[in-house]
Chain A
Amino acid sequence: MSDYLIDLLQTSIDGLLFGSTYALVAIGFTVIWGLLRILNLAHGQTVMVGMFAGMVCSTIFKLPIIVGFVAAMAAACVVGIIVDRVCYRPLRNAHELVPMIATLGFWIFLEEAFIKIYFYTWFRGYMDFPNPYTFVGYDVGPIRLRLDYLITLAVSAALVAVLYLIVYRTRFGLAMRMVAESHDIGYLMGVPVRRILTGTFLLASAYGGAAGFLIGMASNLASPQAGTLAVVKGLFAMILGGSGSIVGAIVGGMTLGVLELTGAYVVSFAYRDAIAMIILFAVLIVRPQGIAGKATIERV
Chain B
Amino acid sequence: MSKWTRRETLKAGASAAALAAMGGVIPRAALAAKQFDGAITIGSIEPLTGIGAALGAPNYIGKLIAIDEINAKGGIAVGGKNFQIKLISEDDQTSPDQGVPLFRKLAEKDKCLIITGTQYSRVTESMWGLLQKKLDDKSDPGLQVPSMSFLSMKAGVAGISPWSFRNAGNEPEQHETTLSVVEKKYGPYKVYGGAVEANEAHSVAAWRAAYLPALKRRNVEPAAYVEWYETDRDFSVQIRKLKRANLDLFVLSSHFQANVGALLEAKRQGFKPKTIISHIGADAIEMVQLGGDAVEGIVFPAAVHQSMSLVQPLAVEYKKRTKEKYMPQFTGLGYEGMYILKHAMETAGIKNTPESLQEDRRKVRDVLAGLKNYKSFAGMTLNMNENRDIVRPTYLVKIDKGDFRMWWDQEKGFLF
Q: Are A and B co-members of a single complex?
A: yes
Q: Which residues of A contact B (CB under 8 A)?
A: 3, 7, 10-11, 14, 18, 115-116, 118-121, 123-126, 128, 134-135, 137, 144, 146, 215, 218-221, 225, 229, 260-261, 264-265, 268-270
Complex Cα–Cα for A188 and B255 (A): 58
B198 lies within 8 A of A269 (CB): yes
Give the number of residues in B that approach A within 8 Å (Cβ atoms): 40
Which B residues between 273 and 290 are near A, CB-CB below 8 angstroms? 286, 289-290
Offer 5 A-B interface pairs, CB within 8 angstroms, sorted by A: A123-B57, A124-B53, A219-B234, A220-B261, A261-B234
Q: Pick the contact of B236 from A3, A11, A125, A225 — CB < 8 Å?
A: A11
In the complex, what residues of A have CB within 8 A of residue B49's CB? Answer: 115-116, 118-119, 125
Q: How far in angstroms is the closest Cβ of chain A from B175? A: 22
Q: How far in angstroms is the closest Cβ of chain A from B288? A: 10
Q: Is B70 an interface residue, CB under 8 A from the partner? A: no
B268 lies within 8 A of A119 (CB): no
Q: Pick the contact of A10 from B48, B227, B240 — CB < 8 Å?
A: B240
User: In the complex, what residue of chain B is closest to A224 when comparing beta carbons?
Assistant: B49
Q: How far in angstroms is the closest Cβ of chain A from B53? A: 4
Complex Cα–Cα for A225 and B230 (A): 12
Q: How far in angstroms is the closest Cβ of chain A from B377? A: 23
A229 lies within 8 A of B231 (CB): yes
Q: Pick the contact of A269 from B50, B53, B54, B238 — CB < 8 Å?
A: B238
In the complex, what residues of A have CB within 8 A of residue B59's CB? Answer: none
In the complex, what residues of A have CB within 8 A of residue B268's CB? Answer: 134-135, 137, 146
Complex Cα–Cα for A143 and B239 (A): 15
Q: How far in angstroms is the closest Cβ of chain A from B231? A: 6
A225 lies within 8 A of B261 (CB): no
B240 lies within 8 A of A7 (CB): yes
**Closest A-B pairs by Cβ, 3 of them:** A219-B233, A125-B53, A120-B18
In the complex, what residues of A have CB within 8 A of residue B238's CB? Answer: 264, 269
Q: Pick the contact of A124 from B54, B227, B261 — CB < 8 Å?
A: B54
User: In the complex, what residue of chain B is closest to A228 when comparing beta carbons?
Assistant: B231
Return the CB mask of B302-324 against A: 1 if under 8 Å, else 0: 00000000000000000000111
User: In the complex, what residue of chain A is closest to B15 when comparing beta carbons?
Assistant: A120
Q: Would you call the interface of chain A mostly helix, strand, loop, or mixed?
A: helix
Q: Is B404 an interface residue, CB under 8 A from the partner? A: no
**Known contacts A7-B244, A219-B233, A265-B237; is A123 also within 8 Å of B324 by CB?**
yes
Complex Cα–Cα for A231 and B264 (A): 26
A269 lies within 8 A of B237 (CB): yes
Which B residues between 236 and 282 are near A, CB-CB below 8 angstroms? 236-238, 240-241, 244, 257, 260-261, 264, 267-269
Q: Is B83 an interface residue, CB under 8 A from the partner? A: no
In the complex, what residues of B have CB within 8 A of residue A225's CB? Answer: 50-51, 231
B18 lies within 8 A of A124 (CB): no
Q: How far in angstroms is the closest Cβ of chain A from B74? A: 31
Taking A123-B18, A126-B286, A265-B240 as given, write out 15 further A-B residue pairs in contact, using a Cβ cutoff of 8 Å, ordered by the A residue number: A3-B244, A7-B244, A120-B18, A123-B323, A123-B324, A124-B54, A126-B54, A126-B290, A128-B289, A134-B264, A135-B267, A219-B261, A221-B260, A221-B261, A270-B227
Q: Is B14 an interface residue, CB under 8 A from the partner? A: yes
**Known contacts A269-B198, A270-B227; is A14 also within 8 Å of B234 by CB?**
yes
Q: Is B226 an interface residue, CB under 8 A from the partner? A: yes
Q: Is B415 an interface residue, CB under 8 A from the partner? A: no
Complex Cα–Cα for A210 and B50 (A): 24
**Known contacts A119-B57, A120-B21, A269-B226; is A18 also within 8 Å of B260 by CB?**
no
Complex Cα–Cα for A160 and B14 (A): 44
A215 lies within 8 A of B233 (CB): yes
Q: How far in angstroms is the closest Cβ of chain B from A135? A: 6
Q: How far in angstroms is the closest Cβ of chain B from A108? A: 12
**Which residue of B51, B236, B241, B267 has the most chain A CB atoms within 10 A of its CB atom?**
B236
A125 lies within 8 A of B226 (CB): no
In the complex, what residues of B have CB within 8 A of residue A128's CB? Answer: 286, 289-290
Complex Cα–Cα for A170 and B128 (A): 61
Q: How far in angstroms is the closest Cβ of chain B from A230? A: 11
In the complex, what residues of B have CB within 8 A of residue A11's CB? Answer: 236-237, 240
Q: How far in angstroms is the closest Cβ of chain B from A237? A: 15
B227 lies within 8 A of A269 (CB): yes
Complex Cα–Cα for A3 and B241 (A): 11
Complex Cα–Cα for A264 and B228 (A): 10
Complex Cα–Cα for A229 and B51 (A): 14
Q: How far in angstroms is the closest Cβ of chain B from A18? A: 6
Complex Cα–Cα for A269 and B241 (A): 11
Complex Cα–Cα for A146 and B286 (A): 24
Complex Cα–Cα for A183 and B49 (A): 43
Q: How far in angstroms is the closest Cβ of chain A from B10? A: 13
Complex Cα–Cα for A244 and B289 (A): 41
In the complex, what residues of B have CB within 8 A of residue A116's CB? Answer: 49
In the complex, what residues of A have CB within 8 A of residue B227's CB? Answer: 268-270
In the complex, what residues of A have CB within 8 A of residue B324's CB? Answer: 123
B22 lies within 8 A of A123 (CB): yes
Q: Is B17 an interface residue, CB under 8 A from the partner? A: yes
Q: How far in angstroms is the closest Cβ of chain B from A220? A: 6
Q: How far in angstroms is the closest Cβ of chain A from B65? A: 15
User: In the complex, what residue of chain B is closest to A125 when comparing beta carbons?
Assistant: B53
